[in-house]
Structure 1
Amino acid sequence: MCILCDLQYYRNQLSPLDERSQTTCEEVFNCLTHVFGILFAIFQMKAMFRLCGRKGFSTTKKTAVMFFCISSLVLYSNSTLYHLFNLVTPQFIRLRYIFQRLDHLTIYLMITGCYVSFILSRLFEKGYVKSGIVVICSIAVMAITGILFTLFSPPTSNMDVIMYLCMGFSCILVAPGWFYFCPTSLLLWLFTGGITYFLGTLFFSWDKLYLNHTIWHIVVLLANIQHSFAVLIAIDDEGQEKSNTFWSSFSQPVVQMKDFIVERFFWAERVAVERLTSQKEE
C-alpha cells in the first residue's frame, strides 16, 4: 500500500485522483446504487445455488456459479467502500487512491469471473477440459496485464476503459466456438449484456456529465443481471431441452428468478393460495 501511495504521490502530486471530484449528492447515489448491487449479488448467489441443489448439478457447475457470484459481490462491495470513503473521508487522499485503484482492479476480476463461469459450465462440463484450460490461461494473462497496467501506469480512466473493452470483447476471436458450445438464448443474453457494458463505458468516460458515475453503476448492474440470466441458461441444460421455442428458452432464467422471489418472499401467501386451490378441487 505504501508503494502505491508513493507512486501516486510522485506521479500526480497536484491531482491525486484521475477522476473529477464528485459532489456529495453524486457520492450518495454512487454508494446507494452499488449497495443494491451487493444485495443483488447475494440474491443471485442464493437463487443459483438453490437451483443447483434442487436439480443436483455437478460440482463443476457449482464452481462456475461461485466464480460468477463472488466476483460480482467483490466488485460491488469494493466499489461501495470506495465511494463511501470519498463521501465521509474526502481529506484522506491516499486512502481514497488505494480504494480507487482497487475499484478499477476488481473490474478485471469480475470480467475474469464471468469468463471462467461460462468456460467451466460449457467447456469443462462437456469434457473439453484442455481447451478450457487454454482459454482460462489466456483470460488470466489479459487480466494480469490489465492489473499491472492499472497499478504502475499513470492513472488514465480512458485507458482503463479500453483495457476493459478489449478483455470483454476478446471472446469474439473465438466466436465459432461459442456458437458450437452455447445455445442461442445464452449467446443473446451474453451479447446484450456486453453491449450494455459498452454503453455504460460511454457514461463512465463522460466526466462532465452530472451523475455520470451513478449512471455507470446502474448500467453495470443491468448488464450483470443480463449475464446472470446467461449463467442460469449455461448451467441448466435440462431446462433448455424442455424449452420448445426460442422465447421459452430465452425467458427461462427470468422465470427462474421470478419463481425464487416468490418462493423466498411470498412463501406464506403462495402456500395459502395452494391450500385454497386444493380445497376447492376437493
Structure 2
Amino acid sequence: MPHAEPVARRMYDLVEPLGLVPYFADESDEALMALGLRNSWDAYFAGRAAPLGRGVPAQVIHAVFFNFAPGEVARHLPRVWELTTPEAALAARERGCVAGMRRILGDLADGPGVARAADLLLKAATSAPVEGRALYAALRAVEVPQEPVARLWHAATLLREHRGDGHTVALVAEGIGGTEAHVLHALSVDVPAKDFGRVWHLPAAQLDAVIDGMRDRGLVGTDGWLTPAGRAAKDRVEALTDRLAEAPYNVLSPTELDRLVADLEPISAALRAVFPM
C-alpha cells in the first residue's frame, strides 16, 4: 500500500549502513581473498558480480555497474573466475559479511529485533518488480539465507541494488555519465573531484576531460564547483532515485513499517558508528 509520506529516503538512511558491510567490514574481503583473489578490487568485483554468473562479459558488467571508468572492470573480470567460482564468491561474501556484522553488533546480533527486521526487510526487498533492474533481478535469483543476521544483510543488499539500478536510470535520464556521477556527487558535498575516493586515482588529464565536458554543459563553473544548473541536476537525480525506490516498501503496512524502523534504528546506528560514512 502506498504510504502517506515518501519512505524511500528515510529507509535509505537506515538500510544503507547494512548494504555497506561488504565494503567497510574487513571480514568480507578476507573471506573472498581466501579464495585466491589477488586484491580487494578482485574481491569487490567477484562478490558483487557473482549473482550475474561466470559468462557475462566485462563490457556488460561495466554497463550494469555504470559508474566505473573505462577499463576498470576488465582488469578484474573475467579473470577472477579463473581463480574461483561465482558460487564460492557468493558464499564467502555472505560468510564474511555476517562475521563483520556480528563483530560490530555484538549482543544486538542475537536480539529479537534482528530477526524481526530481517523478515520485514526481506518482505519488502522481494516484493518489487524486476523489470529494468538487472543487478537486483540477478540477486533475487540467489537463495535466501535462513540465519537472521544473514537474512538481514541479504535483504539490505537486495534493496541497495534495487535502489542502485534506479539511480542509474535517474542518471541516464539526466544525461550524466558514470564518471560524471562521481564528480557530480563530490562537488555537491563540497569535495574537489580530484580528492574524491572513487575518481582521485584517475589520470589528471582523464578527470580534467570529464570536468571540462560538464563545464561545457553548464553543470560546473569556471571556479570548479557546481553551478546552480549542476545542483538542480543533482537534486533531480536524487528525487527520481527516491521515487523509483519507493516500490518495495508499498508491501508493508504502516504498522509493519513503524516496527521495521524501530528495529533497524539501533542496528543502523551501531554500523554507522564504525563505518566512515
Answer yes or no: same fold by TM over 0.5. no
**What TM-score, normalized by structure 1, do the two folds share?**
0.29
How high is the TM-score relative to the length of structure 2?
0.29
Q: Which one scores higher on RCO, CA 8 angstroms, separation ≥ 6?
A: 2
